[in-house]
């Protein structure tokens, strides 16, 4: 047990801070403990407002769709639906879909995914970019910078075990999760067939830097018979290429990421030394893709980077401040989201079968950890998209530590694709608002690949810089991929 226990203690999936924290606090044997996300109280309540759609691809899958009366919850006034994708009686994924506030008959569709692995996409919905956030009185506050201002937005709770999603089977790899998301999307489009002709973008953050490339591969390569197309992908503060990204914890913590050093010189020196061994372990993981090798890489690399940073008491997701609430990914305000999602009237209005909502599931995080999924490479699927001329936006809040902008910038530079050399040689230049002229950050673009550094934002860019994030997404989905970047 010791090996796994040590691996579990040290392996911090991007975003999966609560897991790390619980284990670090020595709450004992993970397997012996009552898992937080065990849904003992699942009961499917008959509800005649729910429509069920069967899959043409695989008859074992069906989609439940319930139209929500907007005034019941007050999250937005637009039309919205929620429900489950069901796989027989064993797997059930929950979603919540909002129409665009502008022109739902023509505006694009955006799928949003949070990371973890194991964190609910309702963190994005109610804390970052959705139509409302939740105040300390556990009531919705309208978000004027919601991403559904000019697009319809679909929030999916995946993989199984996240948020209101539940089931008997365990999903423990990005690959398996990607297959399920593809089937979900086909079913979703059969309920909303007019959306098939709209632009369709997949966006997300953190561990979605794993999910999104895999899902995109599943759509554009594995399923030539698909009924919809993928227009682009957007990844915010992602973890995609850990071999490269692990080299940038030291510079980020030691004053080279645009923020003063938060570690001592001695700690920084040690981190640089440990980076060599980390790189060696990551290389073995990349070449073998064996679970054991990848668990070993994560365990070692995380202990010598995140483990050291943790001692500073700072927020993993925002180097500027302290970790306010260790149980809630450092943000006290995330408690309001949990409290809201646990209100019986909210669950009734949404039609959830599950009555205990947790923002991040430790069980899901642990399952992924034990397959070494975190250290495995996913950047090759990004190269595949670029070679097919499908646009990719990598954006990064520059005050995040855990999936920092330096590491994201570096892996985009090293990426092996048709115009990789041309892209790599380009400098970052100012990214200015097209509305106010304010400098929001820095940008670099070549053909279908764009990297954006967003100033003064942590891991959750739309939370810290809602205006910049909305202009970013609206510019991108309008088809402007260079953000004004010129090649002179």
Which residues have a catalytic role annotated?
206, 400, 459
Shortest gap between Cβ of 300 and ligand NAG (angstroms)?
A: 34
Q: Site for ligand NAG (CB under 6 A): which residue of 289, 434, 436, 439?
A: 434
Residue range at the interface with ligand NAG (CB under 6 A); choices 87-95, 140-148, 321-329, 472-480: 472-480
- Judged by CB under 6 A, does residue 142 bind ligand NAG? no
Q: Site for ligand NAG (CB under 6 A): which residue of 237, 475, 476, 481?
A: 475
Shortest gap between Cβ of 384 and ligand NAG (angstroms)?
A: 27
Residue range at the interface with ligand NAG (CB under 6 A); choices 46-54, 268-276, 322-330, 480-488: 480-488
CA distances (Å), 269 to each of 262, 272, 314, 470, in order?
13, 5, 20, 39
Beta strands 318-322 and 80-87, pairing class: unpaired
CA distances (Å), 372 to each of 173, 318, 394, 450, 477, in order?
9, 26, 24, 29, 34
Shortest gap between Cβ of 19 and ligand NAG (angstroms)?
A: 17
Half-sphere exposure of 209 (CA within 13 A, CB side): 33
Region class of 310: left (phi > 0), else alpha (psi between -120 and 50), else beta? alpha
- Judged by CB under 6 A, does residue 436 bind ligand NAG? no
Peptide bond preceding 425: is omega within 30 degrees of 0, i.e. cis? no
238 phi and psi angles, rounded to 5 deg: -90, 165
Complex with ligand NAG: residue 357 or 368, whichever CB lies closer:
357
Complex with ligand NAG: residue 361 or 475, whichever CB lies closer:
475
Q: Site for ligand NAG (CB under 6 A): which residue of 2, 40, 437, 487?
A: 40
Shortest gap between Cβ of 426 and ligand NAG (angstroms)?
A: 16
Q: Site for ligand NAG (CB under 6 A): which residue of 203, 282, 356, 445?
A: 356
- Judged by CB under 6 A, does residue 150 bind ligand NAG? yes
Cβ(154)–Cβ(113) below 8 Å: no
Q: How many CB atoms lie within 10 A of CB 486?
A: 7
- Judged by CB under 6 A, does residue 347 bind ligand NAG? no
Cβ(28)–Cβ(472) below 8 Å: no
- Judged by CB under 6 A, does residue 447 bind ligand NAG? no
Complex with ligand NAG: residue 30 or 245, whichever CB lies closer:
30
- Judged by CB under 6 A, does residue 48 bind ligand NAG? no
- Judged by CB under 6 A, does residue 343 bind ligand NAG? no
Residue range at the interface with ligand NAG (CB under 6 A); choices 38-46, 111-119, 132-140, 152-160: 38-46
Distance in angstroms (rounded) separating the CA atoms of residues 17 and 476: 30
Site residues for ligand NAG, 7-26, by CB under 6 A, read none
Residue range at the interface with ligand NAG (CB under 6 A); choices 18-26, 34-42, 58-66, 304-312: 34-42
Shortest gap between Cβ of 286 and ligand NAG (angstroms)?
A: 36
Shortest gap between Cβ of 433 and ligand NAG (angstroms)?
A: 9
- Judged by CB under 6 A, does residue 148 bind ligand NAG? no
Complex with ligand NAG: residue 9 or 472, whichever CB lies closer:
472
Shortest gap between Cβ of 234 and ligand NAG (angstroms)?
A: 15
What x-and-dash track marks residues 89-108 binding ligand NAG by CB under 6 A?
Answer: ------------xx------
Shortest gap between Cβ of 291 and ligand NAG (angstroms)?
A: 29
What x-and-dash track marks residues 268-307 binding ligand NAG by CB under 6 A?
Answer: ----------------------------------------
Residues that bind ligand NAG (CB under 6 A): 38, 40-41, 101-102, 149-150, 355-356, 434, 475, 478, 480, 483-484
């Amino acid at each position: 047990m010791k090996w796994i226990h040590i691996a579990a203690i040290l392996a911090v999936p991007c975003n999966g801070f609560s897991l790390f924290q619980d284990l670090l606090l020595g709450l004992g044997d993970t397997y012996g403990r009552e898992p937080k996300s065990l849904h003992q109280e699942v009961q499917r309540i008959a509800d005649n407002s729910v429509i069920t759609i069967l899959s043409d691809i695989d008859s074992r899958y069906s989609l439940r769709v319930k139209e929500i009366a907007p005034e019941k919850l007050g999250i937005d006034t637009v039309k919205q639906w929620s429900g489950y994708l069901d796989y027989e009686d064993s797997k059930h994924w929950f979603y919540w879909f909002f129409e665009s506030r502008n022109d739902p008959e023509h505006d694009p569709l955006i799928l949003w995914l949070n990371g973890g692995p194991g964190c609910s996409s309702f963190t994005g919905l109610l804390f970052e970019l959705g139509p409302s956030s939740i105040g300390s009185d556990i009531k919705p506050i309208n978000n004027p910078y919601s991403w559904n201002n000019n697009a319809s937005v679909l929030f999916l709770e995946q993989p199984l075990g996240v948020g209101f999603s539940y089931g008997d089977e365990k999903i423990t790899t990005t690959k398996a999760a990607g297959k399920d998301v593809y089937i979900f999307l086909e079913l979703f489009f059969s309920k909303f067939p007019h959306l098939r002709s709209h632009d369709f973008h997949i966006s997300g953050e953190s561990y979605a830097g794993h999910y999104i490339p895999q899902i995109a591969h599943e759509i554009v390569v594995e399923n030539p018979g698909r009924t919809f197309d993928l227009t682009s992908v957007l990844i915010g503060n992602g973890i995609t290429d850990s071999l490269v990204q692990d080299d940038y914890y030291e510079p980020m913590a030691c004053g080279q990421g645009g923020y003063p050093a938060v570690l001592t010189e001695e700690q920084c020196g040690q981190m640089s030394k440990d980076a060599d061994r980390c790189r060696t372990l990551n290389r073995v993981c990349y070449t073998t893709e064996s679970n054991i090798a990848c668990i070993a890489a994560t365990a070692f690399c995380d202990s010598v980077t995140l483990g050291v940073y943790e001692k500073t008491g700072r927020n993993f997701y925002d180097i500027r401040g302290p970790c306010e609430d260790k149980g809630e990914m450092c943000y006290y305000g995330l408690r309001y989201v949990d409290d809201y999602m646990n209100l019986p009237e909210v669950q009734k209005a949404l039609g959830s079968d599950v009555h205990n909502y947790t923002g991040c599931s430790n069980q899901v995080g642990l399952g992924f950890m034990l397959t070494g999924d975190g250290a495995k490479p996913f950047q090759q699927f990004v190269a595949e998209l670029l070679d097919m001329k499908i646009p990719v936006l990598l954006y990064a809040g520059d005050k995040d530590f855990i999936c920092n902008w330096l590491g994201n910038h570096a892996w985009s530079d090293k990426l092996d694709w048709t115009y990789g050399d041309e892209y790599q040689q380009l400098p970052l230049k100012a990214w200015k608002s097209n509305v106010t002229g304010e400098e929001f950050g820095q940008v670099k673009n070549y053909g279908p690949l764009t990297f954006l550094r967003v100033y003064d934002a942590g891991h959750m860019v739309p939370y810290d810089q809602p205006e910049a994030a909305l202009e970013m997404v609206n510019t991108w989905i309008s088809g402007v991929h260079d953000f004004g970047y010129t090649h002179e």
